[in-house]
Amino acid sequence: MWNRTAKVVLAGIAALTVSSALRAQMGREPGAAPPATATAAALAPEHDLSGIWNMRAAPAQRKFLNYTFTLEPPEMTPWATEKYLAAKPSNGPRSHPLKETDDPILRSCLPAGVPRIYLQPVPLQIVHTPKAILIIYEHDHMVRQVFVDGRAHPADLTPTYMGHSIGRWDGDTLVVDTAGFNDKTWLDRDGRQHSDQLHVIERLQRADRDNMTIDITMEDPKALVKPWNVVLHFQLKPGWDILEQSCGDDASFEDFEK
């Protein structure tokens, strides 16, 4: 359960990470640079992304990664542009008061969707099983199954918030293909929206034992003129645990403006 400071962070009053005081208390200091080492970085284990990871903003991303993925906006269709301009986000330069926002997470506690869930300022855990790779997000304790048993997407996919994910290894990179989305989530926290034609490809690769990149490509012919590609950086946190966080416990965000 988040305390008052962490909730305000989610509402967009703070920057990318949960308050430094709370994270320090939990042994988490997301703003700190990785410790310097005198030796070369340890090699990444082969075909293994296991562990708890926290997003680490590259210097060029620090000014905007609390509300969107890239400073250069994607080229949107007229349909998506109209929806974007009408949206009332609570984060970024177009932010609105919490009582006015129509952000689907803050207003209705809906699942974040992919890839927006990566912008929620909490860590994730990756767990390998023979059938699927599980991605457990601390945000609302959301779990994704990335099926790695060779199956394809079902022909009759039921649209969902997080979509249907299948994965395969391409060398040392896990390629995750996700389709079957509904149109009820945002692509980011700035109000960019998508249709049920959204298709997301994620490429997860460990640069070494302690660092991972996720290269994300979003395709949506109804919303995006061309694919939107972003690259996120993550750092392994061996001493962390995934905590319990429930949006339902934090539904009355407007209380913080009283």
What total number of domains does the chain contain?
A: 1
Q: Examine residue 184 and state whether it is found in any structural domain, yes or no.
A: yes
Domain around 135: 4-30+49-257
Q: Examine residue 35 and state whether it is found in any structural domain, yes or no.
A: no
Q: Examine residue 88 and state whether it is found in any structural domain, yes or no.
A: yes
Q: Examine residue 44 and state whether it is found in any structural domain, yes or no.
A: no
Q: What is the pTM of this model?
A: 0.83
Q: Examine residue 151 and state whether it is found in any structural domain, yes or no.
A: yes
Closest CA to 47 of 168, 202, 136, 145: 168
- The pLDDT profile of the chain, 258 residues, written as one tens digit per residue, is 444 334 433 344 333 333 333 443 344 544 444 444 434 589 999 999 999 999 999 888 989 999 999 999 999 999 999 999 999 999 999 999 999 999 999 999 999 999 999 999 999 999 999 999 999 999 999 999 999 999 999 999 999 999 999 999 999 999 999 999 999 999 999 999 999 999 999 999 999 999 999 999 999 999 999 999 999 999 999 999 999 998 877 655 454 444
Q: How far apart are CA 131 and CA 154, in angstroms?
A: 16
Q: Examine residue 40 and state whether it is found in any structural domain, yes or no.
A: no
Contact 52, 123 (CB under 8 A): yes
User: Where would I find the H helices in the chain?
Assistant: 4-10, 20-25, 78-86, 104-108
